[in-house]
Amino acid sequence: MYLNSVKNVSEHTFIAYRSDLKEYTTFLTHHNLAIEDVQVDTARLYVSQLIKTHSSPTVNRKLSVLRGLYRYLRKLNVVHTDVFSRIESASRYRRLPEVLSRQEMISLLSYPITDFESLKISLIIHMFYSTGCRLSELLAMDVRDVEVAQQRVLIHGKGNKERYGFLNPSTLTLLERYLPLLKEVTLTEDALFIGKRGRRLSASSCHSILERVAKEVSLRVTLTPHMIRHSFATHLLDNEAGIRIVQQLLGHESISTTQLYTHVTQKRLKQVYTQSHPHGRKRNADERDNNHSGS
């Protein structure tokens, strides 16, 4: 009634809000809590559960609904504190990035080369994985940025900041094949990667290329440039590269941004430990036996 008469929200919004409140009520019932008994720690627990199952915009909407609810309850003196007002919006939270396995990366890096176009595609994949560059950084690369003798490429990052990305042997081999052929193509720019009309490759074209490649190699996920960047960082950390080194290679302004990848690595380490440790294997086997016996 309050939402319809006072807030005058649309029917669609009313239904969404009602669903949000019902979800919160279910959470309180499960934890045997009355709404006036909820403390900040419990509110944080609820939000952490939302983040695991909902997108950031949806979590923010649910937070907004709960803040409004508690403001209303404060006016009625049902509660004395708006526990959700002290919790940051979901835009500050980031989901763990999707990471490709080593075998999946090998499949991508083994993309078959039959002509100039497939050579370019293979080089794009190698360049992403060799340097960990962003999509915008790869598209901005010019031929003059490549330093084959020094085995590196100059990357033009955010805020006009520059850094060098290192080129591994397989990427260098592809470049040595690609650059002479590139000179034979009529160019309108000095771009390292070009589209079919000789102009600098566009972001949409690069996305289309990766989506096509993912289907051709039967990848389990939709391949994106950022996914390869995530994999680059995670695989380095898996091989004990220092986080400060990874920060510099990625061009991160803050170390806190790079620390996101340590969570991915820890999760992967835990999976390997559980699967490999003798006691971990025994526990998993026992759990499977119990599940089978109860089914």
Active-site entry in 62, 134, 230, 235: 134
Task: Report strand pairing: 146-147 vs 152-156.
Answer: antiparallel
Residue 213 CA from chain centroid, whole number: 19
Residue 158 catalytic? yes
Active-site entry in 120, 152, 229, 235: 229
Map residue 38 onto helix, strand or coil.
coil
- Find, among 99, 85, 24, the residue nearest to 54 by Cα: 24
Residue 46 catalytic? no
Active-site entry in 7, 226, 244, 277: 226
Residue 126 catalytic? no
Phi, psi dihedral angles at 87 (to 5 degrees): -110, 130
Q: How far apart are CA 41 and CA 231, in angstroms?
A: 34
Task: Measure CA of the first residue to CA of the last residue in the chain; give whole Å.
Answer: 46
Active-site entry in 62, 120, 235, 252: 252
Active-site entry in 17, 46, 70, 261: 261
Residue 93 catalytic? no
Active-site entry in 71, 95, 158, 281: 158
Residue 51 CA from chain centroid, whole number: 14
Residue 95 catalytic? no
Residue 261 catalytic? yes
Residues that are catalytic: 134, 158, 226, 229, 252, 261
